[in-house]
Structure 1
Amino acid sequence: MRIGLVTPDPGHPLLAATAALLAPDHQVETIDPTSDATPPAERIGPGPPADVYLLKARTPYALALARHLEERGAPVLNSAAATGFCQDRTAMADLAHRAGLPFAATRTAASLADLAGELSDADYPLAVKSRHSRRHDLVARVDGPDRLRALAAQWPAEPVIAQPYLANTGWDQKIWVVDGQVFCERRRSELALAADLPAALAADGSRSGPAGGRFGPADLPADRAELARRVGQVFGLDVYGVDLLDGPAEPVIVDINAFPGIRGQAGAPEALAALALRTARTGGGTPRLPGQRDAQPRTTGR
């Protein structure tokens, strides 16, 4: 089999470990989707595409490459449509709410200045994020109008979403799913990292750790695992992450990510390699789309 990696970083731990599992018996090749003026058809060339592609990139060019590969009949994990959809946090929240998922209440504004005009003192504190998810986007806790005005000066034309800032431990429950197999750990919340943390939270500066005790797959309640799998069905994803609030208000979903950086999770490379081979053998079928009624996983690896 030929397995393609669409990524600027084939050395990422998950991809590198997966490639090492596949390489003895299969051909693994990489397409670097770094911004390129070459049309996708020319970049891929006239020969047959690989049997399956793993899409670990979200740039416009990467998505264009993925769409071109799908048009030529190659299965892509996750599909270009599902990957692109999860970059729009407004669309993500709307679909989650329609599907009955416990997603954080979300409002959208064309700019931080517009958001400021819609808020009253009772709306603070809140979490503000860029509407369009990307590397180095805006993620901030806002405790009052002064902080919001300061952010507006730094990000004057940024479309944003705002969510209520709910009581939490300063950590997120990070749940990752690969073909129905669930992995998890607690990691320091981006909002906690971006804020002035209380000394108790900031003492070790770590992004991950045992906050609240163990939190591995064996410790994850069954209803949380099923919630994570349901997210994949709703959003048409096979490899994805679900961020849950860690605190008294949970379960509340605060973010969903297509093909996240799953690090240090025993069994994840094996699950991804098995998913890639199974999809390559079956051809993958029609690309899964977000919001398809009664959507089911592309494969059955659970």
Structure 2
Amino acid sequence: MRIGLITPDPGHPVLAATAALLAGDGHTVEVSDPRAGAAAAPAGAPADVYLLKARTASALELARELERRGAPVLNSAAATARCQDRTGMAGSARRAGLPFAATRTFEAAARLESAPGLPWPMVVKSRHSRKADLVARVDDPAGLRELASAWADEPVVVQAFAPNNGWDHKVWVVGDRVFAGLRRSELAPADGAPERCGVRLPDAWADLALRVGAAFDLDVYGVDFVDTGAAGPLIVDVNAFPGIRDQPGAPEALAALALDRAARAARLPAARGRRQSGVGRP
């Protein structure tokens, strides 16, 4: 089979390991640099499946073009884009009955200073998720003035700070495989505590992570939980196709998922043909 990687960085550890596994089994791995947008699509037939490890506008343009030509893309362009808007993310999660942090949206951080009913302390984030975006805890009006001055025109969301033990539960899902680790929260005081990999999640938390995939139509994704104690886990972020670094078994799971989706896509035209001709009907 032909497996395509949509990424500007094919040397990323999880992609490189996945590509090596696929190539070792006789499959062809093709890399499409998304910086050219739809122009990076192959002139001939697309690959049997694509892994979308990029979130830029040009990457989404390329993914949409490949989908238009009938190629399955994991994750889809629509699902990837959905995870970049934290306002839409919160709405989708709460409509699905997921325990997601209550979220308010503001057109610009400068408007926070005059907003009524702000929770203290609170977490302020850029509305649009990207590298080097805003994620900060704000404890008082003085801190808010400082933040609003530095990020005046930035569209933001506000969430009440949920008391927790200072650790983020980082959960990565590949198909139906769940991997987990603990990372010191970026909102907690830095203490040099190392990240912990291979953490065992409670079954209910793992089930909750899988529900996120169904709600957002994601195949490869990350979920950030905080443990609020008696109130249980609270989802604070969802990411399409995160790094999944240092998770034993993740490349194998990703390779298996790609091959499974490619095989399923190859069977679909034949199945449609049988239904249209009446073959196979009782």
TM-score w.r.t. length of structure 2:
0.90
Counterpart in the other structure of 1:117: 114
Query: Which structure 2 residues correspond to residues 34-113 of structure 1 after superposition, within 5 A?
Result: 34=35, 36=36, 40=38, 42-113=39-110
Post-superposition Cα deviations, 1:165-195, rounded to whole Å, max 9, x if no partner, equal: 1111221011111001110010121222xxx
The residue number in structure 2 matching 1:226 is: 207
Which letter does structure 2 place at the counterpart of 1:204? G
Cα 1:157–1:245 shift into 2, 3 Å: same
Q: How does 1:121-270 map to 2 (within 5 A)?
A: 123-192=119-188, 197=189, 202-204=190-192, 206=194, 208-209=195-196, 216=199, 219-248=200-229, 249-270=231-252
What percent of counterpart residues are identical? 61
Query: How many angstroms apart in 2 are the aligned matches of 1:284 and 1:188?
Result: 43
Partner of 2:8 in structure 1? Answer: 8
Give the distance between the partners of 2:17 and 2:41, measured in 1 at CA.
25
- One-letter identity of the residue aligned with 1:88: D
Query: Number of paired residues?
Result: 266
Contact 2:87 2:103 in 1 (8 A): yes
1:19 is aligned to 19
Please state whether the residue corresponding to 1:278 is helix, strand or coil: helix
Alignment of 1:264-279 (within 5 A): 264-279=246-261
The 1:57–1:170 alpha-carbon spacing in structure 2 relative to 1, beyond 3 Å, is same
Unaligned segments of structure 2, at least 5 residues: 269-282
Structure 1 counterpart of 2:34 = 33
Q: Deviation string for 1:215-256 (max 9, x for gaps)?
A: 62xx21111111000100010001011100134243100000
Give the whole-Å Cα distance in 1 for the aligned partners of 2:141 and 2:62: 42
Indicate conservation of the 8 Å contact 1:4/1:54, yes or no.
Answer: yes
Partner of residue 263, structure 2: 281
The RMSD of aligned alpha carbons is 1.7
The higher-RCO structure (CA 8 Å, 6+ apart) is 1
Displacement of 1:145: 1.3
C-alpha contact (below 8 Å) 1:8/1:32 kept by paired residues: yes
Alpha-carbon separation, structure 2, partners of 1:65 and 1:169: 41
User: What letter matches 1:190 in structure 2?
Assistant: E
Alpha-carbon distance in structure 1 between the residues aligned to 2:148 and 2:122: 15
Distance 1:184 1:285 in 2: 33
1:142–1:285 CA distance, 2 compared to 1 (3 A): farther
Question: What corresponds to 1:294 in structure 2?
Answer: none
In structure 1, stretches of 5+ residues that fail to align are 287-302
Q: CA 1:167/1:284 → structure 2, altered by over 3 Å: closer, same or farther? A: farther
SS across alignment from 1:245: strand
Q: Is the 8 A contact 1:125 1:165 kept in 2?
A: yes
Structure 1 Cα separation of the partners of residues 211 and 86 of structure 2: 18
Contact 2:32 2:40 in 1 (8 A): no
Query: In structure 2, what residue type is equivalent to 1:209?
Result: R
SS in 2 for 1:241: strand
* Residues 191/203 of structure 1: CA separation in 2 closer, same or farther (3 Å cut): closer
